[in-house]
């Protein structure tokens, strides 16, 4: 298998994310499957930023512990990542900011001669990378033309200068794949929401979902979509309730701290049956924690957020394609079952970039809803066989559409009667059964790898791509519950049947999926846990699996 990793590093402000993305697009154009990971501190200015782009002739979604090419825009990049280098690592560095064994590029001199701004230094390094690895310059021009909206000619001129000052020391042969759209997890979630019929998106920027707000704001120029940035997270969720009450399919974006502020409104959604979708991007906690690093520590938080008992949908996609598919489904299911839905992602998924595979936009589940009468007395919470009541949106002449966060009767009028309290509770429980039946028809548990393998890796969320790759090497099976509420107990037991050993992989300290499984009568033999804010590498997964098998 062709497998090459490129690290691009420098200071905040050097355009490191853009440079890494351009490297990814070059590999994509060359016929490979790229995956890009972006690492940066929680600083507005300063600090060390780096990306790792891994390219392969097979889809990948996790990094390795070695790099084949380093593009260093400063000395820190070389000093901080020596442990990732090997004897054949190609080092290309800005000779005005760093010294190393490798090929120096006089970036500042080139920028001065071309009268180009400092930020174009990364274009110079991309040109040097292409020259040192034998990527034809016309491919660099094609990628720049598609990806750089401003200053294109000057960026190409600077890249050409970088291309010409280095010697070719490696040859990246053309791959056999066709270029595919490269998207981040945030963009995949946004595309999925749009596919599901999104009308409005409300968010206060909070890593790692901030770019979802930016992406959908851009899409609003081309789609009938309302995008709003209120003053805080409480305003976000309450505005979403208002939009949903008015009939607009609405989603919000946040992270753990913002979701804390939204929990009372999640509970309100449970009782007033106004659907709302929350994109919840996990990062390392508690509290502010590591705002720009990853984790899987909020599973039990979202499963139980909000007082009282009410059904909710929680889905945790594992890769870009699943993010697109299940975001659309979450929006559709939330509206068809009139429940809150949570798309549980994390920094690794939200900000990682890979090609969007075919099948990301399947047909949506049916949104059959009971017919609602208009022009006469309307009972918003009328009792039905499946717990889902007819839903009207104001204004409807002659009908009063009343929703209520108190215990209420069928018309939405506040009550404290014991019999109605019991009936409304039974209604919510019945609605959960309906939601469960609808998710069970959508393959809520995915299985990969070798059939009937004695060892099964159990994972959830963004650990999936790494687990899938390692399982392919070791001959294991991978089982991934995508839906975590209502928990697909029967499907998960079926998927795990025949396993002699079940090993859970999680990025938290307590084994939260393991606990959820135990609560539902499913035993796990071993748990491999990581909680330093960084995702598993392929080598680390292999090492730690070898310790328990």
**CB proximity list for 437: less than 8 A, separation 6 or greater:** none
Percentage of the chain beyond pLDDT 90 is: 91
175 neighbors 30 (Cβ within 8 angstroms)? yes
Taking the CA of residue 434 as centre, how many other CA atoms within 13 Å lie in the half-sphere pointing to its CB? 24
Scored b (16 or more CB within 10 A) or e, 112-125 reads eebebeeebbbbbb
- How many other CB atoms are there within 10 angstroms of residue 375's CB atom? 9
DSSP conformational letter for 345: E
3-state secondary structure of 253: strand
Q: Per CATH, which fold does 182-355 belong to?
A: Rossmann fold (3.40.50)
pTM: 0.96
Using CA atoms, how far apart are residues 265 and 19, in angstroms rounded to an integer? Answer: 41
140 neighbors 130 (Cβ within 8 angstroms)? yes
283 neighbors 345 (Cβ within 8 angstroms)? no
Fold match flag (182-355 vs 445-548): yes
Q: What is the DSSP string of 133-164?
A: HT--HHHHHHHHHHH--SSHHHHHHHHHHHHH
- pLDDT band for position 543 (cuts 50, 70, 90): very high
Using CA atoms, how far apart are residues 147 and 549, in angstroms rounded to an integer? Answer: 46
pLDDT digits (tens, 9 = 90+) for 298-328: 999 999 999 999 999 999 999 999 999 999 9
The mean pLDDT value for 367-382 works out to 74
- pLDDT band for position 178 (cuts 50, 70, 90): very high
Q: What is the pLDDT of residue 374?
A: 59
pLDDT score of 231 more than 60: yes
26 neighbors 140 (Cβ within 8 angstroms)? yes
**CB proximity list for 124: less than 8 A, separation 6 or greater:** 105, 107, 110, 111, 158, 159, 161, 162
CATH assignment of 3-164, among 3.40.920.10, 3.30.450.20, 1.10.3370.10, 3.30.360.10: 3.40.920.10
Scored b (16 or more CB within 10 A) or e, 320-355 reads bbbbbbbbbbbbbbbbbbbbbbbbbbbbbbbbbbbb
Q: What is the pLDDT of residue 376?
A: 67
Q: What is the pLDDT of residue 476?
A: 98
Residue 505 tokens, joined? 């992989």
Beta 353-355 vs 90-94: how paired, if at all?
unpaired
Per-domain residue ranges of the chain? 3-164, 182-355, 445-548
Using CA atoms, how far apart are residues 266 and 254, in angstroms rounded to an integer? Answer: 13
Mean pLDDT of the chain: 95
3-state secondary structure of 175: coil
445 neighbors 489 (Cβ within 8 angstroms)? no
193 neighbors 201 (Cβ within 8 angstroms)? yes
Domain covering 445-548 in this structure, CATH number: 3.40.50.920
pLDDT digits (tens, 9 = 90+) for 270-294: 999 999 999 999 999 999 999 999 9
């Amino acid at each position: 298998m062709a497998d090459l990793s490129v690290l691009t590093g420098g200071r905040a402000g050097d355009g490191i994310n853009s440079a890494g993305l351009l490297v990814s697009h070059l590999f994509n154009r060359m016929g490979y499957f790229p995956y890009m990971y972006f690492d940066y501190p929680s600083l507005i200015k300063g600090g060390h930023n780096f990306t790792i782009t891994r390219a392969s002739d097979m889809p990948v979604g996790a990094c390795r512990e070695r790099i084949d090419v380093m593009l260093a825009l400063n000395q820190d990049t070389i000093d901080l990542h020596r442990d990732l280098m090997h004897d054949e690592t190609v080092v290309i560095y800005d000779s005005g900011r760093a010294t190393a064994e490798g090929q120096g590029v006089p970036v500042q001199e080139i920028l001065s001669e071309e009268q180009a701004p400092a930020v174009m230094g990364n274009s110079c390094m991309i040109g040097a990378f292409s020259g040192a690895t034998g990527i034809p310059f016309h491919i660099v021009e094609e990628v720049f033309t598609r990806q750089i909206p401003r200053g294109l000619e000057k960026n190409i001129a600077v890249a050409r200068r970088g291309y010409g000052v280095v010697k070719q020391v490696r040859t990246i042969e053309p791959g056999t794949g066709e270029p595919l759209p490269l998207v981040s997890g945030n963009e995949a979630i946004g595309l999925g929401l749009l596919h599901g019929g999104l009308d409005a998106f409300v968010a206060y920027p909070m890593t790692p979902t901030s770019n979802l707000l930016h992406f959908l704001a851009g899409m609003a120029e081309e789609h009938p979509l309302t995008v709003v940035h209120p003053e805080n997270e409480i305003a976000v969720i309450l505005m979403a309730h208002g939009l949903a009450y008015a009939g607009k399919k609405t989603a919000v974006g946040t992270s753990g701290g913002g979701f804390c502020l939204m929990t009372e409104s999640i509970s309100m959604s449970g009782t007033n049956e106004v659907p709302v979708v929350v994109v919840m991007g996990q990062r390392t906690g508690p509290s502010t924690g590591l705002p720009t690093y990853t984790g899987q520590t909020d599973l039990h938080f979202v499963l139980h957020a909000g007082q009282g008992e009410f059904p909710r949908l929680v889905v945790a996609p594992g890769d870009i394609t699943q993010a697109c598919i299940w975001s659309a489904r979450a929006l559709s299911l939330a509206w068809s079952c009139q429940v809150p839905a949570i798309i549980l992602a994390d920094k690794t998924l939200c900000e990682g970039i890979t090609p969007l595979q075919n099948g990301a936009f399947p047909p949506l589940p049916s949104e059959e809803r009971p017919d609602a009468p208009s022009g006469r007395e309307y009972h918003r919470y009328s009792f039905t066989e499946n717990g889902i009541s007819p839903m009207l949106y104001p204004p409807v002449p002659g009908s009063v559409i009343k929703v209520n966060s108190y215990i209420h009767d069928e018309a939405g009028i506040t009550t404290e009667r014991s019999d109605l309290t019991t009936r409304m509770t039974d209604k919510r429980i019945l609605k959960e059964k309906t939601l469960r039946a609808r998710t069970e028809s959508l393959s809520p548990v995915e299985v990969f790898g070798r059939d009937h393998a004695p060892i099964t890796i159990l994972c959830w969320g963004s650990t999936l791509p790494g687990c899938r790759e390692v399982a392919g090497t070791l001959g294991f099976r991978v089982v991934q519950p995508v839906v975590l509420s209502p928990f697909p107990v029967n499907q998960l037991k079926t998927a795990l049947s025949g396993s002699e050993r079940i090993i859970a992989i999680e990025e938290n300290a307590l084994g939260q999926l393991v606990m959820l499984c135990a609560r539902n009568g499913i035993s796990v033999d071993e748990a491999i846990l990581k909680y330093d804010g960084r995702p598993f590498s392929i080598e680390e997964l292999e090492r730690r699996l070898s310790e328990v098998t």
